[in-house]
Amino acid sequence: MVERSDIRVVRCGGSKVNLRPPIISTDSRFVLCASGDLVKVYSTRTEEWLHSLQGHTNQVTGIALNPANHLQVYSCSADGTVKLWDFIDGILIKTFIIGYPLFAIYVSEKHEGVLFLHVSMATDSKNECFQLVAVHPPKSAEQEVEAKEMSVVSSHISSNPSCTAFGRGGEYIAFARRLQLNVYFFRKQKTCSFSLKATDKKGAKNAFTCIACHPTDDCIATGHEDGKIRLWRNFIHKKEYTYSTQHWHHNAVNTLCFTPEGTHLLSGGIESVLVQWQYGAGNRKEFLPRLGGSILHISASSDGQLFCTSHSDNKITVIESSFKVCGVIQGLVKGDAVLTDLMIDPRSIALVLNGKPGHLQFYSLLRDKHLYNLDIVQQEYIYEAGLDQFEVVKAAFDIKGSWLATVEERGQKSSDLEFFLKLWAFDERTQSFVLNTTITAAHTDRIISMCFSSSEETTMLVTTAEDGQFKAWCQGADADTQQDQNFWSCDFVGSYHNLKPTNCSFSADSSLLAVSFQEVITIWSPETWEMLTTLCQPPGVIRDLCFGRLSCSKYLLGTTTRNLLCCWNLLTCALEWSSSVEVSKLQPDPLSENVAAFSYQSKHTDLFVFKPSEPRPLFTNKNVCSEKVHRAVFVPREEPLNNCDESSQWLNRSQLYFLTQNMDLLTFSTATEEDRMLSSSKQLVIDDSVAVTPFYLLLGKHRQQQQKLNTQSHPAADKPQQPQGSVTIKELLHTPAHVLPAASVLCSMFVNSLLISNTGVQQDPLREEMDSEKEEEDSEEEMEACDSQQELRVQGSVDEVTLKLSKAQERELKRVRKTDFSWMAGLIDSKP
Amino acid sequence: MASFKPTKVQFLPKLGEKVTEETLYWKNYKSPVQIKEFGAITKIDFSPLPPHNYAVTASTRIHIYGPHSQEPIRSFTRFRDTAYGGRFRGDGKLLVAGSEEGLIRLFDISGRVALRQFKGHSKAVHMTSFLSDGFRVVSGSDDLSCRVWDVPSAVELSSLTEHTDYIRALAPSKLNPDLFVTGSYDHTVKVFDMRSGSSVMTMQHGHPVECVLLYPSEALLVSTGGRYVKVWDLLKGGQELVSLKNHHKTVTCACLSSVGNKLLTGSLDRHVKVYNSSYKVVHNFDCDASILSMAIAPDDEALAVGMTNGVLSVRHRRHQKDKEMLTSRRRRGPSYQVFVKGKNFVPRQDDFLVSKPVKQYLRKYDKQLKSFEVSKALDTALQTWTRTSKPDVTVVVIIELNRRGTLKNALAGRNEEIRGCFCVLFFRHIFDPRFSRPLLMVGDIVLDLYQQVFHQSPVVERLLQRLMEVLGREAELQQELLQVLGILDTLFTSLTPRKEALAHNGMHVTRHDIEQ
């Protein structure tokens, strides 16, 4: 990326959480998943994102719990490093530099200190060359270690990491590739391989899709492309192996997983049904249907109480072993394409785009959190490949966010097209959108674009369709009914020489409506529905249209397919300026005059930000990304920045987000913003620990005190202990009894806290005494007699006496304790 | 885990009548009580006193009926010729009526013999009325004169001969005893003031006036005649406010409801129409014969309509009590109690509510769709009852099966009966624009699947023959419609010089033909 100023392109939120199987920590409290270049830690109970492990510079491609320490996790990344983390505190412990892009990581209990990595050999240009290598990470105290020692376990393995699995805690490793299953026995160091025919008589497709090994038994389960599950046994002998077949899935089995005890086998596929097979009981199975998108991965916690499934709609579901869903972690859903534009909900400033099939998703960009899904289609979704189902293709919000218009469509491929136009009203009570009107045959052909009028008083929707017409829809056009029925109905139908309309746009005060018909832009007055004028700049079909805002509201901008960006002055109805740029997306900022134009030229995208009043760009960023940009949106900031720099001023009021063809959500960030972000993240690190509960205050502080005592004994550090002790007591007395731990636990703690405060005070005289000890050595013998007397008294009633002792007496006591009585032992020994 | 989403039956709003509070109000009348009179009923008048008896003038009699009586409680029969226009005085004790021979009679309600007779008109007197002071009677006659009579002395006070044709409509003012309005067959409506002794206002109705009516505020005047109902603003000097043309035959009578002053008009076209305050028709009562007279009781308790065939039909208002009786009869015995048990428990403020998961009740076809039993679901949707009374459910299931891509599977392997079933479904609904698209799709699949076996069954073959005929006829019709549209288009474009092409969004006409 070329950086001229301090503005740079950053990838922002919403990366995939379903790339690799999530893992559940041993205590079942956390779910870890790889998401972009982070490892995210979620709570299984509350589904909240707790923190993330940040450090990789490329996509994290695998995570695995450290078998030696269950509080640590390994993560591998495409940047060629393996990192070891403490995931509870989010601390990076070690980094191993491998040097090759890594694609998956496996560990096993039997092979402690060995990491098995999925490596693509960069020397070979073919992408089919994946190797499984074993790495012995060198033991050293340094943070960053280069681990170059590698031994290849197997070359030519499948690119799919779920086609590799360890069996019986690491006795053998099974990996499948296309039609071949290989089992490598570590002890014998030999490989058995079994292969299937490509298709059998019934036309089944036998290619392997996933693999799982039984934890205690010699059994390998494999999933196949036609939905069959095969259980392989006796594979130690190359000839006498057997397998049994089970078939429930009607499409490829995506993932298989044995429960830790090995009593059940879990499988999932595109049907989005989690199937639990009883191991060794033939066909007995349980189902958990309608989980969301198709199941990509399943993982089980080590105690078998929780399962995690990750789905194609960027979602992780946490399921109890009783087959009850207990949590859903939802990321930003990005399908193959965003059919609706990127939009901003004016109420919640959430990014809105189509998410789950038939739904609109609301995603908070600030918190990088999925807010909710709005069911648009309201039909049962059938999880079957190649089925043509309703999809939300268009959506628009009105300026206040009280109305939402959606278009759902079915039959993109076939000739019979079905579509519905739906209008949703915002319900203040339930704080969500409620269906108001469904229009079944809004147009006779596909709706191309739609927009709401931008005035606050009256809302009007304009739709343009391929049937050559544009229609204006108004709320409650029937005046004769006395009740205010707020249904929408058609108000006006317009067309222009039977040309196909391409786009429509309202001016900022909605006094004008511009509808482009092929090469001609027509300007209409929405009050009278009179056509005011036509604008035309041939050749080239108009692609994008937008009006200028604020001080530039007299300008109308348009882009054509023939690489022309035109700006008309609406007062003179003449072309003000035009420039030859191939613009793929034109996006006006709703809060300022600025307009952003993404242009795609010679395999990279450039961004120009300009004001319609002058053809000179305010800001140019060459080579924003290498793909075409079709979707972009300006998001108003919560609090405006005050950048004085001319080139970054356009980012003061709102932020520009855009979506590339690879479905990466990118944004521009400025230096000041990053500073602010950094400072806030530092704060986060400080107070990231456990939530502040009364219990924590009691126990946590106590632990801190102990630690301090153990490590250092500064008088200064010990001084404030007394007041803290009293705080603890107060806390104890003031917290309700039902939140406190058992009294047996507390009692010793409580008493200890009292004692510690005493020792704290006592230590000072002790130290003073140490210095004077030598002086007093001489008089030691004299004091002996009275010492022994005192000792007796102490033994008699410890508590009373210690409390009543004066300072001088205490000092005396300490001194006596320190004195060496070893000579007495010598005497005793020598006597007999 | 999301729950199963049941298939949604599209609810389409009914075109035309919209249900408003007013329609509900006017629908709330019981079915009419029919009483046979001796001749055409020319006038009905309700007594202003409770219990609001009403006088019905028909043939040579005037009958007085009680509010709920089927038989007359009193009748005045001493007319030698046809009686006309029997009307009560403001206190409900006296009744005045004209007659064919030109004599005006005044009756006491309790008596039989006429108390007074006013002689002077040379031709039939169709309209008589008391002025609002109660001591004078005004009459309109076919001898073109309008006379005012003194009740105590039975002498004619004045005679006004400004009309040039029969006077058939009369309405006295209730606020001023000296004012009355007359309507005549000379197409005019006149307002007379007794103090000046002449008309003070004249309005041209444009048709022979059959009935005039003053609003209680007396700022508005309604006149009916021909097919028109006109409302005049008297305060603006008789300016026409609205002209309504909702009947397709002569409007013979009009009255005002006492609740909200809604206008009702009755016509020879056998309809009574009710207008709202902005003069849109909100309700319509149908009658068996042409309507000559109509009256509505105070508080809209009853609506009496008199017709040419001598039938008096009285509609009484349905009361809340009656409704409750009906509904309470429906709720039977302990089943309701069991059903409601514990449901009306109101939790106290500090109670902790444990919500029970709501059980999802699914229709039979939904249950079958949920378990992917497509053929069974189609069978359920094709049951005779569903098919005939709820075709939308059948079609929704067909659409749902098509969306799941399993329609062909569900249709395959059916016997003759089911195939016949489909044909009948096609006959009934293939031209319904809501259903034609999915049904045509089903038709295509059925024909594809069973091409080989159709000729084996004569019943199905005959049905298919009929279907082909019907479709052929429809295709012809559509073609004609398209031609008409084309003609209209040319006409419209020649009428409007503007450039914009007129868009016709109604009637999109695309129908495929099923080819066998």
Q: What is the DSSP string of B92-142?
A: SSEEEEEETTS-EEEEESS-SSEEEEE---SS-EEEEEE-TTSSEEEEEET
With a cut of 80, say whether residue B337 has pLDDT above it: no
B224 touches chain A (CB under 8 A): no
Domain coverage including residue B409: 364-493
The answer to whether residue B334 sits within a structural domain is: no
Determine the distance in angstroms separating the CA of A382 from the nearest CA of chain B, rounded to an integer: 7
Contacts of residue B6 in chain A, CB cutoff 8 Å?
380
B369 and B297 share one domain: no
Q: Judge contact between B453 and B416, C-beta under 8 A.
A: no
Nearest C-alpha neighbor of A16 from the set A311, A416, A349, A325 = A311
With a cut of 90, say whether residue A641 has pLDDT above it: no
B105-145 pLDDT per residue, tens = 999 988 888 888 898 888 899 989 999 888 999 999 998 89
Give the pLDDT score at B171. Answer: 92
Return the structure tokens found at A545: 């249209």
Dihedral sign computed on CA atoms, order B223, B227, B228, B229: positive
User: Cis ω on the peptide bond leading into residue B51 (within 30° of 0)?
Assistant: yes
The answer to whether residue A314 sits within a structural domain is: yes
B234 and B295 share one domain: yes
A203 and A313 share one domain: yes
* pTM strictly above 0.80: no
B308 and B371 share one domain: no
Among chain B residues, the shortest Cα distance to A325 is held by B1
Provide the pairing of β-strand A144-146 with A91-97. Answer: parallel
Contacts of residue B508 in chain A, CB cutoff 8 Å?
444
DSSP string, A627-659: S-EEEEEEEE-SS-----SGGGGGGSSEEEEEE
DSSP string, A674-713: HHHHHHHHHHHHHT-SS---HHHHHHHHHHHHHHHHHH--
Give the pLDDT score at A765. Answer: 46
Domain coverage including residue A310: 159-330
The answer to whether residue B341 sits within a structural domain is: no
Do B503 and A379 make contact, defined as CB atoms within 8 angstroms?
A: no
End-to-end CA, chain B: 47
B15 touches chain A (CB under 8 A): no
A307 and A363 share one domain: no
Q: Identify from A380, A389, A491, A531 which residue to disrupt to test chain B contact, counting B C-beta atoms within 10 A and taking the largest count.
A: A380
User: Cis ω on the peptide bond leading into residue B347 (within 30° of 0)?
Assistant: no
Determine the distance in angstroms separating the CA of A384 from the nearest CA of chain B, rounded to an integer: 9
With a cut of 60, say whether residue B208 has pLDDT above it: yes
Q: Choose the closest CB to B503 out of A290, A440, A469.
A: A469
User: Across chain B, what does the average pLDDT equal?
Assistant: 84
The answer to whether residue B348 sits within a structural domain is: no
Q: Judge contact between A147 and A134, C-beta under 8 A.
A: no
What pLDDT band is residue A696 in, cutting at 50, 70 and 90?
A: low
The answer to whether residue A148 sits within a structural domain is: yes
A349 and A325 share one domain: no
A467 φ, ψ (degrees, to nearest 5)? -80, 10
Q: Of B280, B302, B317, which residue sits at a domain end?
A: B317
The answer to whether residue A584 sits within a structural domain is: no
Lowest mean pLDDT among A316-320, A515-519, A667-671, B188-192: A667-671
* More confident site: A402 or A744: A402
The answer to whether residue B376 sits within a structural domain is: yes
B123 touches chain A (CB under 8 A): no
A279 and A413 share one domain: no
Q: Where are the alpha helices (DSSP H) in A258-400?
A: none
B411 and B467 share one domain: yes
The answer to whether residue A822 sits within a structural domain is: no
Burial B409-443 (b: 16+ CB within 10 A, else e): ebbeebeeeebbbbbebbeebbbeeebbbbbbebb
Go through chain A and tell me how many residues it has.
832
A234-261 pLDDT per residue, tens = 887 777 888 888 888 888 899 999 988 8
Give the separation between CA B171 and CA B181, rounded to whole angstroms: 5
What pLDDT band is residue A728 in, cutting at 50, 70 and 90?
A: low
Contacts of B6 (CB under 8 A, 6+ apart): A380, B360, B362, B363, B366
With a cut of 80, say whether residue B329 has pLDDT above it: no
Could you tell me how many CB contacts below 8 A there are between chain A and chain B? 65
User: Across chain A, what does the average pLDDT equal?
Assistant: 78
Return the structure tokens found at A63: 């995570």
Among chain B residues, the shortest Cα distance to A323 is held by B1
What pLDDT band is residue B166 in, cutting at 50, 70 and 90?
A: very high
Return the structure tokens found at B314: 């009285």
Nearest C-alpha neighbor of A106 from the set A169, A41, A48, A185 = A169
Q: Choose the closest CB to B20 out of A384, A410, A483.
A: A483
Among chain B residues, the shortest Cα distance to A328 is held by B1
A130 and A190 share one domain: no
User: What is the number of domains present in chain B?
Assistant: 2
Give the pLDDT score at A794. Answer: 43
A365 and A342 share one domain: yes
B311 and B186 share one domain: yes
* More confident site: B185 or B332: B185
Give the separation between CA B369 and CA B5, rounded to whole angstroms: 10
User: What is the number of domains present in chain A?
Assistant: 3
The answer to whether residue A306 sits within a structural domain is: yes
Do A378 and B500 make contact, defined as CB atoms within 8 angstroms?
A: no
Q: Choose the closest CB to B18 out of A289, A481, A494.
A: A481
With a cut of 70, say whether residue B41 has pLDDT above it: yes
Q: Judge contact between A313 and A299, C-beta under 8 A.
A: no
Determine the distance in angstroms separating the CA of B508 from the nearest CA of chain A, rounded to an integer: 9
Contacts of A285 (CB under 8 A, 6+ apart): A248, A275, A276, A277, A278
Do B369 and A416 make contact, defined as CB atoms within 8 angstroms?
A: no
Determine the distance in angstroms separating the CA of B245 from the nearest CA of chain A, rounded to an integer: 17
A310: exposed, middle or buried (Cβ count in 10 Å: 0-12, 13-18, 19+): buried
Do B5 and A378 make contact, defined as CB atoms within 8 angstroms?
A: yes
Return the structure tokens found at A98: 């491998």
A219 and A324 share one domain: yes
Q: Choose the closest CB to B501 out of A389, A478, A498.
A: A498
Binding-face residues of B in 466-505 toward A, CB within 8 A: 499-501, 503, 505
Cα B234–Cα B239–Cα B243 angle in degrees, nearest 5: 110
Do B5 and A531 make contact, defined as CB atoms within 8 angstroms?
A: no
Give the pLDDT score at A717. Answer: 40
With a cut of 50, say whether residue A360 has pLDDT above it: yes
Q: Choose the closest CB to A531 out of B10, B500, B508.
A: B500
Q: What is the ipTM of this complex?
A: 0.70
B287 and B381 share one domain: no
Do B20 and A379 make contact, defined as CB atoms within 8 angstroms?
A: no
End-to-end CA, chain A: 91
The answer to whether residue B335 sits within a structural domain is: no
A144 and A165 share one domain: no
Give the pLDDT score at A828. Answer: 62
Give the separation between CA A751 and CA A615, rounded to whole angstroms: 79
A251 and A299 share one domain: yes
Q: Where are the alpha helices (DSSP H) in B142-253?
A: none
The answer to whether residue B337 sits within a structural domain is: no
What CATH number should be reported for the domain holding residue A276? 2.130.10.10
Contacts of residue A436 in chain B, CB cutoff 8 Å?
none
Return the structure tokens found at A383: 């999880």
A306 and A245 share one domain: yes
Q: Which amino acid is at B278?
A: S
The answer to whether residue B198 sits within a structural domain is: yes
Give the separation between CA B28 and CA B165, rounded to whole angstroms: 41
The answer to whether residue A587 sits within a structural domain is: no
A35: exposed, middle or buried (Cβ count in 10 Å: 0-12, 13-18, 19+): buried
Do A379 and B278 make contact, defined as CB atoms within 8 angstroms?
A: no
Contacts of residue B5 in chain A, CB cutoff 8 Å?
378-380
The answer to whether residue B503 sits within a structural domain is: no
Q: Of A157, A177, A206, which residue sits at a domain end?
A: A157
B10 touches chain A (CB under 8 A): yes
What pLDDT band is residue A424 in, cutting at 50, 70 and 90?
A: very high
Give the pLDDT score at A127. Answer: 54
For A193, how many CA atoms within 13 A lie in the half-sphere containing its CB?
Answer: 11
Q: Which amino acid is at A809?
A: Q
Contacts of residue A292 in chain B, CB cutoff 8 Å?
2
A72 and A136 share one domain: yes
Q: Choose the closest CB to B2 out of A290, A389, A497.
A: A290
B264-276 pLDDT per residue, tens = 999 999 999 999 8
Strand order in the sheet with B33-36: B33-36, B311-316, B302-307, B291-296
What CATH number should be reported for the domain holding residue B118? 2.130.10.10
Q: Choose the closest CB to A380 out of B4, B22, B500.
A: B4
The answer to whether residue A650 sits within a structural domain is: no
Give the pLDDT score at B230. Answer: 93
B19 touches chain A (CB under 8 A): no
Do A495 and B20 make contact, defined as CB atoms within 8 angstroms?
A: no
B338 touches chain A (CB under 8 A): no
The answer to whether residue A202 sits within a structural domain is: yes
With a cut of 80, say whether residue A807 has pLDDT above it: no
A145 and A216 share one domain: no
What pLDDT band is residue B294 in, cutting at 50, 70 and 90?
A: very high
With a cut of 50, say whether residue A309 has pLDDT above it: yes
Burial B361-378 (b: 16+ CB within 10 A, else e): eebebbbbbbeeebbbbb
Determine the distance in angstroms separating the CA of A443 from the nearest CA of chain B, rounded to an integer: 9
